[in-house]
Amino acid sequence: MNIGVIGAGGWGTALALHLYRNRHNIKLWFHSKESLMITKQYKENLYYLPGFILPDEIKLTNNLEEAIYNSEIIVLVVPSQHLRDVIINMSKENIRNKLFLIASKGLELKGGKRMSEVLKEELNDVDFAVLSGPNFSKEVALRIPTTSVVASNSQKISDTFQNLLTNDYFRVYTSRDMIGVEFGGSIKNCLAIATGISDGLGYGSNTKASLITRGLKEMIRVGKKYGANEETFYGISGIGDLVATSFSNLSRNRWIGEMIGKGIKFKYILESTRQVIEGVYTTKVTFENNQELYLPIIKEVYSILYENENPISSVKNLMTKELKSEEI
């Protein structure tokens, strides 16, 4: 099958390599011409997925129309804040009758839209699914056993992508709860920043376990407000992704939290990396759009990122709040 992968960050590159291994014809689109030229020269994506040679059969381009032309499936793996612009720049003629897979995680700053909502607003007549789970690019590229979830309103579409993606090291489950799958993949990044801050402050497993379990409650509150199924958050795209992102040294969101916990200024951390830290945006939009909900951990992460709150003060705020039942 001919597949256009739109976005050549770490996850886009890993997905392109994975789909190539599943015997598909792949075109990989780069936003940056510089990154494209370096990748062509060294046969690997040195900026975002170093150490993995890309076969010559994977066609590399920074021409968007070339990437989607003749592709039966389009995989969207661009940062959440740029997805709308990329979709708008696609020729409507070239995307007719194509199937889309959204592999980007995050919420749009303006209005807090999920990536599926952005796609539907710009291309309201296309068939699509979303992919989410504990899927670190490097581990997938290394063929380390991994699971993920593909969700669509159509079981037929979910089944199509399940079969397209699954192999002996990457197992895909299906879901009908797109809302829950997307919120799980987005909000876990806010909570991973919190667990990273805990690491940076030198706290231990007790603290991290508490942040994950109480943070899961906050994830569920947000999801249910928008119509998600609570059960989804107890699965791979919810608690599964949250645990992986909170513990792994491959997690960019946990990393930025750790740097903050160690006392490095937020703006300097952002300036030091090419990587997009989705949790920075998701924290802002989640807190600002849901202030009627009880979200104490997300509120403190927001205060640290955007109000210059001292992390130690945030810990004290959380630990000295009014006593409650665990069910609340």
> Which run of H or of E encompasses 83?
helix 83-88
Sheet holding 99-102, edge to edge: 59-61, 25-29, 2-6, 73-76, 99-102, 127-132, 146-151, 170-175
Q: Which two tokens stand for residue 129?
A: 């699914």
Task: Give the C-alpha separation, 10 to 12, whole Å.
Answer: 6
Phi, psi of 5, deg, nearest 5: -100, 115
Residues 6+ apart with CB under 8 A from 138: 10, 14, 49, 51, 250
172 touches 237 (CB < 8 A): no
Annotated active-site positions, please? 188
279 touches 254 (CB < 8 A): no
Would you state the torsion angle of the CA atoms of residues 78, 80, 172, 183, taken in this order, to the nearest 10 degrees?
Answer: 180
**DSSP codes joined into one string, 185-252:** HHHHHHHHHHHHHHHHTT--HHHHHHHHHHHHHHHHHHHHHTT--GGGGGSIIIIIHHHHHHH-TT-H
**DSSP codes joined into one string, 116-158:** HHHHHHH-TT-EEEEEESS--HHHHHTT--EEEEEE-S-HHHH
